[in-house]
Amino acid sequence: MNVLRPGPLAAILAALVAVFLMMPLVAVIPVSFTPTRYLSVPDAEWSLRHYRALIENPAWAQGAWLSIRIGVVASVLATGLALLFSLGIWMLQPRFAGLLIGIALLPMVAPPVVSALTLYFFLISLSKVNTFVAYDTWAGVALAHVVMIAPFAVVLISVALAQVDRRIDLAARSMGAGIWTRVVRVILPNIRFGILTALFLTFVLSWEEIGVTLFITSVDAVTLPRLMWMGLRDNIDPAIAAISVVLIALVVAVVLTKTAVERSRARRQEKA
């Protein structure tokens, strides 16, 4: 039962925010159909050349695939490490918790430029001893991304944990449950949503990361944002807008399918 259903005022405010959130779409969708080679809103003539470019230039597909691979690996690793860490802090409540959390959040707090330089030096030193996890390799980028996105996962999971009622855990413990039982049976189910959001958000962060990536890659590991990053002295390719439109279409399709599936399942349950 939902005892606190949002009233009309909340609905109106939310509608305003929703409009605000969708506003740049007004620009992005038309721009992707511009016939010109630079970002502009088309006047009379509409063209599909930037969508054609996405298909014809293999660099876009390669970049997207590389970014997906890096994003998946980095977000899974980062969320996993952050989950263990946050659980440890929550259960153990160590004396220097503040300091430990501070260290874990450092890459998030440090200016991106400093992180870029830091990770660049680190990856170059790795390059001297191996060629797999190194400068300008996909594994090297994934490693750097784990560093950059793990703090966000720590924050999200800690927020979820802060909502968990300690008494449940205490009850489980007093009934003799071991650590792993408590974690798997009691705590994890309660923070499932937090973990999933951490996974999603860290993936998005990795997918969009450019500040550090620009600096630790060169000619081989060209991620999608790097490909999009058309330099400070030059053009912004409208193909970026076309990519956005494709991604948005995908998101809409996934969300609609998900909602439809949930609804039909709910209806079936009602009938049953």
Q: How far is the CB of 257 from other proteins (least distance, A)?
A: 12
What is the full DSSP assignment across 155-217? HHHHHHHHTS-HHHHHHHHHTT--HHHIIIIIIHHHTHHHHHHHHHHHHHHHHH--TTHHHH-
Nearest distance from residue 250's CB to other proteins, in Å? 8
The span from the CA of 192 to the CA of 79, in Å, is: 12
Cα–Cα–Cα angle for 79, 85, 86, nearest 5°? 85
- The residue among 145, 118, 253, 264 whose CA lies nearest residue 206 is 145
Whose Cβ is closer to other proteins: residue 138's or residue 152's? 152
* Region for 136 from its dihedrals, namely left if φ exceeds 0, alpha if ψ lies in -120 to 50, beta otherwise: left
Residues 6+ apart with CB under 8 A from 271: none
Nearer to other proteins, 70 or 89 (CB): 89
**Cβ-Cβ contacts under 8 Å for 83 (sequence gap 6 or more):** 153, 157, 195, 198
Question: Is the Cβ of residue 128 or residue 271 nearer to other proteins in the bound state?
Answer: 128
CA 141 – CA 135 distance, rounded (Å): 8
| Shortest Cβ 55–other proteins spacing (Å) | 18
CB of 121 to other proteins, least distance (A): 5
CB of 87 to other proteins, least distance (A): 5
In the bound state with other proteins, the residue whose beta carbon lies nearer, of 128 and 268, is 128
Give the nearer residue to other proteins in terms of CB position, either 167 or 271: 167
Find the DSSP H helices in 93-111: 97-109
Concatenating the DSSP letter of every residue in 2-25 gives -S----HHHHHHHHHHHHHHHHHH
Residue 66 or 237: the one with the smaller Cβ distance to other proteins is: 237
Shortest Å distance, C-beta 8 to other proteins: 11
- Asked if 60 and 239 count as a contact pair (C-beta separation under 8 A), the reply is yes
The residue among 73 and 150 lying less far from other proteins, judged by its C-beta, is: 150
- Residue 81 C-beta: closest distance to other proteins, Å: 4
Amino acid in position 233: R
